[in-house]
Amino acid sequence: MKKNNRPIYPFTAIVGQEEMKLALLLNIVDPKIGGVMIMGDRGTGKSTTIRALADLLPEIETVANDPFNSHPTDIELMSENVRQLKEAGEELLLAQKKVPMIDLPLGATEDRVCGTIDIEKALTEGVKAFEPGLLAQANRGILYVDEVNLLDDHLVDILLDSAASGWNTVEREGISIRHPARFVLVGSGNPEEGELRPQLLDRFGMHAEIRTVKDPILRVQIVEERSEFDRSPDEFLQKYNLQQEVLRQRIINAQEKLNKVQLDYEIRVKISQVCSELEVDGLRGDIVTNRAAKALAAFEGRDEVTVDDVLRIITLCLRHRLRKDPLEEIDSGQKVEKVFQRIFSNL
């Protein structure tokens, strides 16, 4: 923890909410999973957990003074300006920085999110005068939208498009600027305040549902831990320092191992069979389930995906993609599990 920064509650100290924590960790291991939608009651630690995760992550190497957090070697994560400097053979100044964690306010305008082009400067001086927005700041980090179900659908579309493609394009009066915007999109909301449209919900890689803890002993433990943190943050952080470091190293190892993880053809067929039987539209469900299963195997330090890996993540990947039947009493998560058990029973 840097000096003068407000202390952040440690990720490893968060009690319960395993589904949410797993979904977030897997998206950090493989950002191409496509983000997480977290739906649950108020006061269940959604924001605390997401901020704790951002604080836990290892620092990234960036090009110094670059507003897009450009990667020094990966062209896909580089701004146009940095790429031109690199092609010209100029030496880039590098800097280490914390993974950016950007909060998107509910009242944000499109210009604030995407960035703006100064047309007057572009026309009079002949330069592309671009003022970066929140998507630029979020590149290579986490973009968090609280109450995403209350956000304007048009803005949600922009966020999801950028998260899927890894790029943001701003066009004004015939001037076009494109910059990298690869981030883990995390949305949270309370189902009582309304659901997201199905076509937007489907674009989130995973969907975690969280509930208020009912067990009185667990509730007391959570309250006591929080009180201890508020009373003496430095001592509390010290207590969890080793666990935080162990988890940080696990994430780094998993990111390095990810491309080596194998997913057996027979398991891939069964995953697609589950998606087909559940009448999941499109192939996004199949792709995300495959990616998440590999990310989980990598996180656990294994080179091969097991059936148990698929069981642990398939509900997170598919529950929000099922067609809603208002007359059906069975929960969508149970429905996914039921079909999974039947199809995978002979493996």
Which of the residues are catalytic?
284
What is the Cβ-side half-sphere exposure of residue 329, based on CA atoms within 13 angstroms? 0
Give the side-chain half-sphere CA count within 13 A for 324: 9
Backbone angles phi, psi at 124, to 5 degrees: -80, -35
One-letter-per-residue 3-state SS of 243-311: HHHHHHHHHHHHHHHHHHCECCHHHHHHHHHHHHHCCCCCCHHHHHHHHHHHHHHHHCCCCECCHHHHH
Residue 99: closest CA among 14, 162, 28: 28
How far apart CA 145 and CA 187 sit, in angstroms, is 5
